[in-house]
Amino acid sequence: PKTIRLSEYQAPNYLIDTVHLDVRIYEHYTDVISHLAVRANPDVPTASGQPLELVGVELELLGIEQDGATLALDHFRIDGEVLTIKDVPDQFTLLIMTRIHPKQNTSLEGLYVSKGMYCTQCEAEGFRKITYYLDRPDVMSRFTTRVEAPKQAYPVLLSNGNPVERGDLDDGRHYVIWEDPFKKPCYLFALVAGDLSVVEDHFTTSSGRDVLLQLYVEPHDLDKCEHAMDSLKRSMAWDEEVYGREYDLDIYMIVAVSHFNMGAMENKGLNIFNTSCVLANAKTTTDMGFQRVESVIAHEYFHNWSGNRVTCRDWFQLSLKEGFTVFRDQQFSADMGSETVNRIDDVNMLKTVQFAEDSGPMSHPVRPDSYIEINNFYTTTVYEKGAEVVRMIHRLMGKDGFRKGSDLYFERHDGQAVTCDDFVQAMEDANGVDLTLFRRWYSQAGTPHLKVTSEYVSDQNQFSITFEQTTLPTPGQPEKLPLHIPVAIGLLGADGKDLALQLSDGTVLDPLNPVLELKQAKQTFRFNGIKEQPVASVLRGFSAPVKLFYEQERAELAFLMSHDSDGFNRWNASQRLTVEVLLDLMSAYQEQKPLYVDSLLLESFRALLADESLDQAMVAKMLELPTEQFLAELLPKPVQVDAIHHAREGLKRELACGLRQELQQVINRCHMDPEYHYNVDAVAKRSLRNVCLAYVMTLADDEATELCLSQYREAGNMTDQLAAFRALAHSERSEKTQVIADFYQQWSSEALVVDQWFMVQASSPQPDALDNVQALMQHEAFEMTSPNKIRALIGAFCNNNPVNFHRLDGAGYAFLADQIIALNNINPQVASRMSTILTRWANYDRVRADLIKAQLTRIKAEKLSPDVYEIVSKALN
């Protein structure tokens, strides 16, 4: 497979001004007739006279006409995926007729069929599976699409833009013509044909235009649309208010499909969503599910500006639209709910998944330099680290400065395909600042380590703090340079209040946003006028995506835990204290000594449970122990798989034992409400109750079991029912067999609940988990062609069940390798995502590392898709 490099980017020789697509759906195949208006690119002096090269994958070419005349065989040639047309004039039309077989397309790219519904997925390079085209984001065209299909089976025919004509044809067929007035790259093209029900609403934009909102779903999902529709209207209003961005078409459509490789896709005016990211109601969806729907709806909507109106020049610039849009959806979620809790969740995920990616063989910069398969670069580095980079710009520019920059960016580049550098340039120009050094965040891979030391000199009333930044080498980048790192900071006095911050050079830090800007490998800042030994709260709000190393006493952590004015660092202090205690327990486990839990943690948790004045969502977060995956990433390597697991389980039990009464009081106080409401307080109450329930059930006595069973039976919503179900299913109690069967029976007709059922069983810590997963692969509800089912069963086992996946006999690894080999032929994108799990072998002990490498070698010996090949070969390098 060929490596594509950013350094080799060349503007296209030809542009396509208009595209008329005629898509005719028949029982066994689909014909696509594409009419293109092509011209040589005036910005490329050498373009004129060059052959035209279009790409196509798995297409049957039926014929080509140039300027109305059939193209003779000696005027074009097909070489692999490239259709080359020689001797073309500077301006001409092309008519290309191709035949495709969507029903056989299990890759879920291009045009495919999901539960009888035709739908498309063109990002990143799926359009080439529909017709020959210049399938690259810097070729932007005006699209008209005619969709034709049998009317009874496919009454709904959709594409981008506005419907301009529809009619009936012979043989029970019908058609609809759609016109998209905006130029777009083909990755934003979409088409849907199916038998769908629709929910409608309206939104009036700030300039008074009426927008028709439509949500298309299968008829039995009509009762799960309200939350998505409300979220959409909130997103539209928010983007007007916070970014001044108005929606630009008369119609905004969302279609829910069950077979989908990712969460959703922002096709212009016709978003296509994985059912899991759009459908929600109290009975079938957890609070976390509601949150996910809200944020994905917002994310795709925000792409209308950050991605569609201003798009990417090439796929190396993916973070231009994804990092910025994730940042925007994070801001939106923070505004809709609790800013602190959202930040905690986002940072937890970054530290667990992105930090792991950044220290492995797939480590790459936010703007990658090269790729074999672009689908492999829809990564947490491009998305989440990319969002952190935008967040740092926001912090450095301030809210108003950032808005000035984004206004300039949208105005300057509307209708263009641009680069990450253009984004930074707009921020610089709007604010009159120089971000030259900051740009390194886009090109340098790896997570910087930030070592912090501090000293208080009482007779000088001075507190000094020193930062040393280093970044370890990553593949292809042996040398690393210092980065521009904003470090938000606070110093707490003995009363727990923030002290005024003045540097020794006289600079007074903004009390609302105190930030130190690091630009060198080592830097010291001295604060004057500090009359008492302070406790430092460093990297507030996780102001930069770095690994912080700052030794603080346990008592200081407990102090921050109860006094820090920064909610994020309050939580972080509790995590750091918990990790310290877990380290004690890991040593005890390894030395086969009794587990002893530091009373400082126990008493801090007791105080948290008792204090009703605290934000209850935050209390729930502080009580949640770091996951085994988080600890695996955080602690020194090789990962102590078993010690982590047993220490964590032991700590849960010890805390449950020591705090049983308090836990039960919280459970009583946070009683289940008969009616479900999705709002900040209700979500907080449920989360706190269910964290406490999980603690109590670790004791697995009769009383705890009865508590879970009654919650399981009486819960009026999925959040409470699933929490009780999980606690029972993960226990050793014999009652669980009946509960597992009962849950399936109750929910077998709700695919998304069945996914939860698979997930809970796959993540069970009990030693029979792998046997159960293997048996569930044969279950009537499991489908190897459904990414949701694969993620729910195989993904949950391999990602969320470390102690069973990393079994010392290697059975977990062999199981995953079998599935990757099978999936490689069915759905390469999903197969390659699964194979990234095996790239972390170097983090494990010799025995496990060798077992993982043996499976990678076994996979590599197969005939692989470029997707899986890239991951496996880089992992073995």
Name which of Zn ion, ligand HT7, none residue 272 binds, using a CB cut-off of 5 to 8 Å depending on partner kind.
none
177 with 159: CB under 8 angstroms? Answer: no
- The residue (of 271 and 431) whose beta carbon lies closer to Zn ion is 271
* H or E stretch at 580: helix 567-590
Q: Which stretch binds ligand HT7 (CB under 6 A): 28-36, 297-305, 360-368, 773-781?
A: 297-305
Q: How far is CA 70 from CA 16, 66, 77, 96, 131, in A?
A: 20, 6, 14, 10, 18
CB-closest chain residue to ligand HT7: 262
Other residues' Cβ atoms within 10 Å of the Cβ of residue 10 = 8
- The residue (of 263 and 638) whose beta carbon lies closer to ligand HT7 is 263
661: nearest Cα among 605, 620, 715, 705: 605
Total interface residues for Zn ion by CB under 5 A: 2
Q: Which entry of 123, 294, 300, 633 is annotated as an active-site residue? A: 300
Rounded to whole angstroms, the Cα distance separating 650 from 382 reads 37
Q: Does 300 bind ligand HT7 (CB under 6 A)?
A: yes
Q: Where in 110-172 does DSSP place strands (E)?
A: 110-114, 117-121, 142-150, 156-159, 162-168
Rounded to whole angstroms, the Cα distance separating 20 from 131 reads 12
Dihedral angle sign, alpha carbons of residues 4, 6, 12, 15: positive
- The residue (of 316 and 747) whose beta carbon lies closer to Zn ion is 316
- In the numeric block, the tokens 């077979």 are attached to 259
Footprint (CB under 6 A) of ligand HT7, residues 20-79:
none
Name which of ligand HT7, Zn ion, none residue 159 binds, using a CB cut-off of 5 to 8 Å depending on partner kind.
none
Minimum CB separation of residue 727 from ligand HT7 in Å reads 34
Helices and strands (H and E) in the chain: how many: 29, 32
Q: Is 300 a catalytic residue?
A: yes
Other residues' Cβ atoms within 10 Å of the Cβ of residue 56 = 23
Minimum CB separation of residue 273 from Zn ion in Å reads 12
Dihedral of the alpha carbons of 266, 269, 275, 279, in degrees to the nearest 10: 120
Q: Does 294 bind ligand HT7 (CB under 6 A)?
A: no
Q: Does 870 bind ligand HT7 (CB under 6 A)?
A: no
- In the numeric block, the tokens 């989360």 are attached to 687
Q: How far is CA 234 from CA 276, 295, 343, 524, in A?
A: 20, 11, 20, 45
Name which of ligand HT7, Zn ion, none residue 340 binds, using a CB cut-off of 5 to 8 Å depending on partner kind.
none
Other residues' Cβ atoms within 10 Å of the Cβ of residue 243 = 18
Name which of Zn ion, ligand HT7, none residue 329 binds, using a CB cut-off of 5 to 8 Å depending on partner kind.
none
Footprint (CB under 6 A) of ligand HT7, residues 314-343:
322
Over 411-473, what HEC string results?
Answer: HHHCCCEECHHHHHHHHHHHHCCCCCCCCHHHHCCCCCEEEEEEEEEHHHCEEEEEEEEECCC
Name which of ligand HT7, Zn ion, none residue 262 binds, using a CB cut-off of 5 to 8 Å depending on partner kind.
ligand HT7
Q: Which stretch binds ligand HT7 (CB under 6 A): 134-142, 257-265, 362-370, 459-467?
A: 257-265
- The residue (of 325 and 616) whose beta carbon lies closer to Zn ion is 325
What single-letter DSSP state applies at residue 494? T
User: Among 135, 221, 239, 266, which residue sits at the site for ligand HT7 (rule: CB under 6 A)?
Assistant: 266
Name which of Zn ion, ligand HT7, none residue 123 binds, using a CB cut-off of 5 to 8 Å depending on partner kind.
ligand HT7
- The residue (of 287 and 322) whose beta carbon lies closer to Zn ion is 322
Q: Which stretch binds Zn ion (CB under 5 A): 324-332, 542-550, 612-620, 646-654?
A: 324-332
Minimum CB separation of residue 263 from Zn ion in Å reads 8
Q: Does 277 bind ligand HT7 (CB under 6 A)?
A: no
Footprint (CB under 6 A) of ligand HT7, residues 92-111:
none
Q: 3-class DSSP state for residue 791?
A: helix
Over the window 389 to 428, marking each residue x when it contacts ligand HT7 by CB under 6 A and - when it does not, the resulting string is ----------------------------------------
Q: Does 276 bind ligand HT7 (CB under 6 A)?
A: no
Q: Which stretch binds ligand HT7 (CB under 6 A): 2-10, 117-125, 159-167, 473-481?
A: 117-125
Q: Which stretch binds Zn ion (CB under 5 A): 184-192, 318-326, 398-406, 683-691?
A: 318-326
- 30-40 and 14-25 as β-strands: parallel, antiparallel, unpaired? antiparallel
- The residue (of 258 and 281) whose beta carbon lies closer to ligand HT7 is 258
385 with 545: CB under 8 angstroms? Answer: yes
Name which of Zn ion, ligand HT7, none residue 85 binds, using a CB cut-off of 5 to 8 Å depending on partner kind.
none
Q: Phi and psi (nearest 5°) for 184?
A: -150, 155
- The residue (of 238 and 813) whose beta carbon lies closer to Zn ion is 238
Q: Does 379 bind ligand HT7 (CB under 6 A)?
A: no
For the chain, how big is the Rg over CA atoms in Å? 28
Minimum CB separation of residue 264 from ligand HT7 in Å reads 6
- In the numeric block, the tokens 């093209």 are attached to 189
Q: How far is CA 270 from CA 191, 428, 495, in A?
A: 8, 34, 55
In sequence order, which residues have a C-beta less than 8 Å from that of residue 395 and are 6 or more positions away? 486, 488, 513, 515, 543
Name which of Zn ion, ligand HT7, none residue 124 binds, using a CB cut-off of 5 to 8 Å depending on partner kind.
ligand HT7
**The token pair that represents 343 in the structure block:** 């930040």
Cis bond upstream, residue 124 (ω within 30):
yes
Q: Does 125 bind ligand HT7 (CB under 6 A)?
A: no
686 with 620: CB under 8 angstroms? Answer: no
Supply the DSSP string of 506-552, one letter for each residue. Answer: SPBPPTTS-EEEE-SSEEEEEEE---S--EEEESGGG-SS-EEEE--
Q: Does 287 bind ligand HT7 (CB under 6 A)?
A: no
Total interface residues for ligand HT7 by CB under 6 A: 15
- The residue (of 239 and 322) whose beta carbon lies closer to Zn ion is 322
Minimum CB separation of residue 97 from Zn ion in Å reads 33
- The residue (of 123 and 498) whose beta carbon lies closer to Zn ion is 123
Footprint (CB under 5 A) of Zn ion, residues 504-543:
none
Footprint (CB under 6 A) of ligand HT7, residues 819-848:
829
Q: Phi and psi (nearest 5°) for 13?
A: -70, -30
Q: Does 257 bind ligand HT7 (CB under 6 A)?
A: no
User: Among 121, 276, 352, 537, which residue sits at the site for ligand HT7 (rule: CB under 6 A)?
Assistant: 121
- The residue (of 122 and 134) whose beta carbon lies closer to ligand HT7 is 122
Name which of Zn ion, ligand HT7, none residue 227 binds, using a CB cut-off of 5 to 8 Å depending on partner kind.
none
In sequence order, which residues have a C-beta less than 8 Å from that of residue 644 and are 6 or more positions away? 582, 586, 628, 631, 632, 635, 802
**The token pair that represents 587 in the structure block:** 């040593």
User: Among 114, 145, 261, 359, which residue sits at the site for ligand HT7 (rule: CB under 6 A)?
Assistant: 261
Residue 248 burial by Cβ neighbours in a 10 Å radius (0-12, 13-18, 19+)? middle
Residue 858 burial by Cβ neighbours in a 10 Å radius (0-12, 13-18, 19+)? middle
Q: Which stretch binds ligand HT7 (CB under 6 A): 25-33, 296-304, 729-737, 790-798?
A: 296-304
Q: Which stretch binds Zn ion (CB under 5 A): 228-236, 325-333, 467-475, 760-768?
A: 325-333
- The residue (of 221 and 373) whose beta carbon lies closer to ligand HT7 is 373
- The residue (of 281 and 308) whose beta carbon lies closer to ligand HT7 is 308
Q: Which stretch binds Zn ion (CB under 5 A): 176-184, 323-331, 580-588, 757-765?
A: 323-331
Q: Which stretch binds Zn ion (CB under 5 A): 244-252, 314-322, 640-648, 810-818?
A: 314-322
Rounded to whole angstroms, the Cα distance separating 733 from 730 reads 9
| Residues lying near Zn ion in the complex (CB under 5 A) | 322, 325
| Residues lying near ligand HT7 in the complex (CB under 6 A) | 121, 123-124, 261-262, 264-266, 299-300, 303, 322, 375, 378, 829
Active-site positions read 300
